[in-house]
Amino acid sequence: MPSRLMNVSSRETTSSISHFILMGFPSSPEIQFLYFGLFSGAYILTLLGNAAIICAVCWDWRLHTPMYIFLGNFSLLEICYVTTTIPNMLANFLSTSKSISFVSCFTQFYFFFCFGYDEGFFLCIMAFDRYLAICRPLHYPHIMSKQLYTGLVIFGWSCGFILFLTPVVLISQLPYCGPNIINHFVCDPVPLMMLSCSADIITQLTYSTFNAVFMIGTLLFILCSYALVILAVLRMPSEAGKCKAFSTCASHLAVVTLFYGSILVMYVSPGSGHPMKTQKFITLFYSVITPLCNPLIYSLRNKEMKAALRKMFRTEQGVHKI
């Protein structure tokens, strides 16, 4: 009987909150309008930059190779990733209530982390592709067949949605009986768990384990892949070959550094007690700044991509003139 009453009580407290308040960046209305302009510009540039890469990959037949197909999918993933958070954040800058429904909050939470997980998997896939191309160049066309890279694309898109379902269900089932104010601009799991009426150690441990295994596992895979790549490049007799090999890997390594540098600090140990301002800044970095920088990194460091973008824009200009 006592356990039954506790279960009923838990369900009642869980349903007692119908919405949350996302505080975002508390400031005067004038500063809120300034934030709105800055983040609107960042969002538009992120969409345009990643869309340009997708169009270049689709447009130029010379980029119809596994490396650029993975890059095009990664750019599409970046668009989905930023769209889960920035539009709602922009709406909150102009809103006085800054509320988000319980369902919408956990939907944002789920998709934000699913796309984040998928980005990690795609970075692993891209590292594996570079390993095969540089360390196994003669066998690369046979190994990286259309069936394999198509399967890797499907794997990269689907794994995040499958793996992160367990943590989001567990956290959504925690009892929330008030307060309902989230001191963040996104429905982040750490402040959500802090708002729960009870400290569920199993849920916290499950969430931390998922993040730690995923982040450390994918990062180690990437680092091992590039350690083998660097050893293979150093053995190359030609200096030109070394430069070409390093240039194809430099942009990917830069994106890996930006992505994992901030996320490892934030999510491997959510109970480490980061100040809320620090949490917001780190989240802002990997959810807004990194997707904004990625198109610049890939387009400026890659000769084939720059050539494809120039060709595409020249063609567009010619069409408009006609």
Q: What crossing angle do the helices spanning 201-234 and 239-267 adopt, rounded to 10°? A: 170
The hierarchical CATH code for the domain 28-321 is 1.20.1070.10
3-state SS, residue 27: coil
pLDDT string in tens for the chain (322-residue length): 444 333 434 444 444 788 899 988 888 889 999 999 999 999 999 999 999 999 989 988 888 999 999 999 999 999 999 999 999 999 999 988 889 999 999 999 999 999 999 999 999 999 999 999 989 989 999 999 999 999 999 999 999 999 889 999 999 999 988 788 998 899 988 888 888 888 788 898 998 888 888 988 999 999 999 999 888 888 887 777 777 777 778 888 888 888 888 777 765 544 445 567 777 888 888 889 889 988 888 776 677 777 777 777 776 555 555 5
Amino acid, res. 93: F
pTM, to two decimals: 0.86
Q: Residues near 220 by Cβ (< 8 Å), separated by ≥ 6?
A: none
If you write DSSP's letter for every residue of 125-149 in order, what string do you get? HHHHHHHHHHHSTTTHHHHS-HHHH
Q: Sign of the CA dihedral 85, 86, 88, 92?
A: positive
